[in-house]
Amino acid sequence: MAQLRFPRMPGSANAVSLEGAQKNYESHGVAERKNQGMTRKPLEFEQREKGWRPLDAQRDNIEEPRRGVAYSDSYPLNDTTVLYYWRSTYWRRLAS
Protein backbone atom coordinates (compact mmCIF):
# COMPACT_ATOMS: atom_id res chain seq x y z
CA MET A 1 0.00 0.00 0.00
CA ALA A 2 2.88 2.38 0.76
CA GLN A 3 4.23 2.17 -2.78
CA LEU A 4 0.85 2.97 -4.30
CA ARG A 5 0.67 6.08 -2.15
CA PHE A 6 4.34 7.00 -2.63
CA PRO A 7 5.31 5.41 -5.97
CA ARG A 8 8.77 7.00 -6.05
CA MET A 9 9.76 5.69 -2.62
CA PRO A 10 11.96 2.57 -2.61
CA GLY A 11 11.86 0.13 0.25
CA SER A 12 8.86 -1.14 2.14
CA ALA A 13 7.90 -4.48 0.57
CA ASN A 14 10.14 -3.99 -2.49
CA ALA A 15 13.73 -2.87 -2.99
CA VAL A 16 12.84 -0.53 -5.87
CA SER A 17 10.08 2.05 -6.12
CA LEU A 18 6.86 1.31 -8.00
CA GLU A 19 7.89 3.85 -10.63
CA GLY A 20 11.33 2.23 -10.93
CA ALA A 21 9.86 -1.27 -11.09
CA GLN A 22 7.55 -0.27 -13.92
CA LYS A 23 10.44 1.26 -15.88
CA ASN A 24 12.59 -1.84 -15.25
CA TYR A 25 9.77 -4.10 -16.43
CA GLU A 26 9.30 -2.06 -19.58
CA SER A 27 12.98 -2.21 -20.49
CA HIS A 28 14.14 -5.54 -18.98
CA GLY A 29 10.99 -7.63 -18.41
CA VAL A 30 11.44 -7.72 -14.62
CA ALA A 31 10.66 -5.30 -11.80
CA GLU A 32 14.09 -5.80 -10.23
CA ARG A 33 16.99 -6.49 -12.58
CA LYS A 34 18.55 -8.91 -10.08
CA ASN A 35 15.61 -11.24 -10.84
CA GLN A 36 16.24 -11.40 -14.58
CA GLY A 37 15.86 -14.99 -15.76
CA MET A 38 14.06 -16.07 -12.57
CA THR A 39 10.50 -15.06 -13.45
CA ARG A 40 7.53 -16.76 -15.05
CA LYS A 41 4.74 -15.66 -17.33
CA PRO A 42 1.51 -14.62 -15.59
CA LEU A 43 -1.04 -17.35 -15.01
CA GLU A 44 -4.39 -17.09 -16.76
CA PHE A 45 -6.14 -15.66 -13.68
CA GLU A 46 -3.37 -13.09 -13.07
CA GLN A 47 -4.61 -10.53 -15.55
CA ARG A 48 -4.17 -6.79 -15.29
CA GLU A 49 -7.27 -4.85 -14.41
CA LYS A 50 -8.95 -3.32 -17.44
CA GLY A 51 -7.84 0.28 -17.71
CA TRP A 52 -4.51 -0.29 -15.93
CA ARG A 53 -1.63 1.74 -17.28
CA PRO A 54 1.86 2.62 -16.10
CA LEU A 55 2.27 5.48 -13.68
CA ASP A 56 2.45 8.86 -15.43
CA ALA A 57 4.07 11.66 -13.41
CA GLN A 58 2.45 14.30 -15.62
CA ARG A 59 -1.03 12.89 -15.12
CA ASP A 60 -1.15 11.24 -11.71
CA ASN A 61 -0.32 13.94 -9.13
CA ILE A 62 2.23 11.81 -7.29
CA GLU A 63 2.43 12.34 -3.56
CA GLU A 64 5.92 12.72 -2.09
CA PRO A 65 6.47 11.73 1.58
CA ARG A 66 7.57 14.45 3.99
CA ARG A 67 9.54 13.99 7.18
CA GLY A 68 7.60 14.33 10.40
CA VAL A 69 4.18 13.54 8.94
CA ALA A 70 2.24 10.66 10.55
CA TYR A 71 0.88 9.07 7.39
CA SER A 72 -0.49 6.01 9.13
CA ASP A 73 -3.50 8.05 10.25
CA SER A 74 -4.35 9.27 6.76
CA TYR A 75 -4.51 6.05 4.73
CA PRO A 76 -7.91 5.34 3.16
CA LEU A 77 -8.34 2.05 5.00
CA ASN A 78 -12.07 1.78 4.26
CA ASP A 79 -11.36 1.62 0.52
CA THR A 80 -7.71 1.26 -0.46
CA THR A 81 -8.66 1.05 -4.14
CA VAL A 82 -8.72 4.88 -4.19
CA LEU A 83 -4.90 4.56 -4.26
CA TYR A 84 -5.12 2.98 -7.75
CA TYR A 85 -3.84 5.89 -9.85
CA TRP A 86 -5.25 4.45 -13.12
CA ARG A 87 -8.86 4.55 -11.88
CA SER A 88 -11.17 7.54 -12.12
CA THR A 89 -11.64 7.26 -8.34
CA TYR A 90 -7.94 7.98 -7.59
CA TRP A 91 -7.90 10.06 -4.42
CA ARG A 92 -5.37 12.62 -5.67
CA ARG A 93 -7.08 13.21 -9.01
CA LEU A 94 -9.08 16.11 -7.58
CA ALA A 95 -5.95 17.58 -5.96
CA SER A 96 -4.20 17.89 -9.31
Are 4 and 85 in contact, with CB atoms under 8 Å apart? yes
43 vs 74, more confident: 43
Reply yes or no on whether the pLDDT at 70 is more than 90. no
Per-chain mean pLDDT for the chain: 87
Write the CB contacts of 8 (distance below 8 Å, at least 6 apart in sequence). Answer: 17, 18, 19, 20, 62, 64
pTM above 0.85, yes or no: no
Residues in the chain: 96
Cα–Cα dist 53/29, whole Å: 16
* Coil, strand or helix at 71: helix
| pLDDT tens digit sequence for 80-91 | 899 999 999 998
